[in-house]
């Protein structure tokens, strides 16, 4: 008896490697934990403010107000996800589920756009970015939109894994298409760019953000969408009633209260990113792209990315091999030192072996 949709059989459950003690440069998290004082305050608020037996507020209005203030929009333009991953799924449900609509995305990019379409049984057209600079082919996108019943286009901006930003001119051309354009700004705090001001002109835009990266709250699972009020209300309708735990709401609210302290470390982290990028370029072994994020994307010239990933993992540094390259998060200075030492060792070994 087939109890489940047969197409799910071909999919694998999503897992990331858990290697205790390893340097985790594979998920673009902030490399250090929240400050002690922040966690103590959060624990205190949990104790005195949150009745564990009660459901959390189903409409997290104090968090909504703070996010609205942070983004410079009205509170009715905000919706929430248990991580922005959940909002990606909500957008697909709200646009394509049950009506034959198609998702469009352009790889290499964040894999969840495709994976969540597949798990919902929604068709997903996957185009490819230009190999040289990871730019988009507008004509190809226009053709796909015209022919494939596309209702929503997902783009990460800056993109993961490539770290690259879209030209605003290209973005405006995309917003002129008759589809919903979802810009995933998970790395906004690093890039400094946001499409939020374009919402005034384009009702077919949704901006997704997360507390998982620059705000260091990956463990608490809080994402949000900024959209025109009608669109935000639609996302609120498909949102599960208590998708954000009381602790998650509290953590995100507190993070915005402490945003100056939390975000103050960004320039130093980006300096670390640039140091690693320069060191990689100096080996002459990698092709690199400019990064507007907290990670770098590098393609080894002479070895497969997967080989390099494995060799680094054996030495205690986790990076991601994806899209034919390595995505390496900026870590602490010590983690980056170890990464570079491993790479030097690895590529010396590599050239010594080549000479044999
Ligand atoms: C990390 C990341 C997310 C995931 O965010 P969560 O809020 O933790 O679900 C979404 N999009 C992109 C492009 C990311 O890199």
- What ligand 1 atom has the least distance to the C-alpha of 109? 13
Q: Whose CA is nearest to atom 6 of ligand 1?
A: 83
pLDDT at 125 over 60: yes
Residue nearest to atom 14 of ligand 1 (CA): 186
At 354, is the pLDDT very low, low, confident or very high (cuts 50, 70, 90)?
very low
Indicate if ligand 1 lies below 6 Å from the C-beta of 184: yes
Q: What is the pLDDT of residue 74?
A: 98
Q: What is the pLDDT of residue 18?
A: 82
Residue 87 in this model has a pLDDT that exceeds 50: yes
- Dihedral sign of CA atoms 200, 202, 203, 205 in order: negative
Q: Is the CB of 110 under 6 A from ligand 1?
A: yes
Q: Which residue has the higher pLDDT, 141 or 59?
A: 141
Give the nearest ligand 1 atom to 27 CA.
Answer: 1
Of ligand 1's listed atoms, the one at least distance from the Cα of 222 is: 7
In the chain, what percentage of residues exceed pLDDT 90?
91
pLDDT confidence of residue 205: 98
Here the tokens at position 279 are 């060191």
Residue 58: pLDDT over 90: no
Q: 84 alpha carbon to ligand 1 midpoint, in Å?
A: 6
The per-residue pLDDT for 148 is 83
Q: Ligand 1 centre from 197 Cα, in Å?
A: 21
Quote the ligand 1 centre to 284 CA distance (angstroms). Answer: 31
Measured from the Cα of 110, ligand 1's closest atom is 13
- Ligand 1 center from residue 8 Cα (angstroms): 23
pLDDT at 141 over 90: yes
pLDDT band at 237 (very low <50, low <70, confident <90, very high): very high
Q: In this predicted structure, what is the pLDDT of residue 165?
A: 97
Judge whether residue 356 has pLDDT over 70: no
- When pLDDT is cut at 50, 70 and 90, the band that residue 351 belongs to is very low
Tokens representing 241 are 């009633």
Average pLDDT, the chain: 95
Q: Whose CA is nearest to atom 11 of ligand 1?
A: 186
Report, as an integer, the average pLDDT of 34-40: 98
Query: Ligand 1 centroid to 98 CA: how many Å?
Result: 26
Phi/psi at 223 (5° precision): -125, 165
Distance 115 CA to ligand 1 centre (A): 13
In this predicted model, what pLDDT tens digit does every residue of 294-311 receive, in sequence order?
Answer: 999 999 999 999 999 999
How far apart are the CA of 156 and the centre of ligand 1, in A? 9
The answer to whether residue 53 scores a pLDDT higher than 70 is yes
């Amino acid at each position: 008896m087939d109890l489940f949709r047969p197409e799910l059989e071909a999919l694998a459950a999503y897992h990331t490697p858990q290697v205790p003690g390893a340097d985790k440069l594979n998920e673009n998290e902030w490399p250090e934990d929240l400050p002690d004082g922040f966690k103590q305050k959060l624990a205190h608020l949990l104790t005195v403010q949150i009745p564990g037996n009660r459901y959390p507020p189903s409409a997290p209005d104090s968090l909504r107000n703070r996010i609205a203030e942070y983004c410079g929009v009205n509170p009715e333009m905000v919706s929430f996800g248990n991580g922005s991953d959940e909002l990606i799924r909500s957008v697909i449900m709200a646009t394509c589920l049950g009506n034959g609509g198609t998702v469009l995305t352009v790889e290499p990019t964040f894999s969840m756009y495709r994976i969540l379409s597949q798990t919902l049984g929604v068709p997903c057209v996957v185009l490819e970015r230009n190999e040289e600079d990871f730019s988009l082919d507008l004509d190809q996108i226009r053709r796909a939109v015209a022919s494939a019943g596309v209702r929503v286009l997902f783009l990460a901006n800056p993109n993961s894994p490539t770290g690259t930003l879209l030209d605003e001119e290209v973005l405006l051309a995309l917003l002129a298409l008759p589809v919903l354009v979802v810009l995933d700004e998970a790395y906004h705090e690093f890039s400094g760019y946001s499409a939020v001001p374009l919402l005034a002109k384009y009702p077919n835009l949704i901006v997704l953000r997360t507390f998982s990266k620059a705000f260091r709250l990956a463990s608490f699972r809080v994402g949000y969408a900024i959209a025109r009020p009608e669109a935000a209300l639609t996302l609120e309708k498909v949102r599960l009633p208590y998708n954000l735990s009381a602790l998650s709401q509290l953590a995100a609210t507190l993070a915005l209260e402490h945003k100056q302290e939390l975000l103050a470390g960004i320039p130093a982290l980006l300096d670390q990113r640039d140091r690693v990028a320069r060191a990689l370029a100096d080996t002459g072994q990698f092709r690199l792209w400019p990064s507007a994020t907290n990670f770098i994307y590098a393609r080894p010239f002479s070895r497969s990315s997967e080989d390099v990933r494995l060799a680094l993992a054996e030495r205690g540094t986790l990076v991601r091999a994806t899209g034919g390259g390595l995505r390496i998060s900026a870590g602490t200075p010590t983690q980056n030192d170890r990464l570079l030492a491993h790479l030097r060792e690895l590529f010396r070994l590599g050239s010594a072996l080549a000479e044999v």
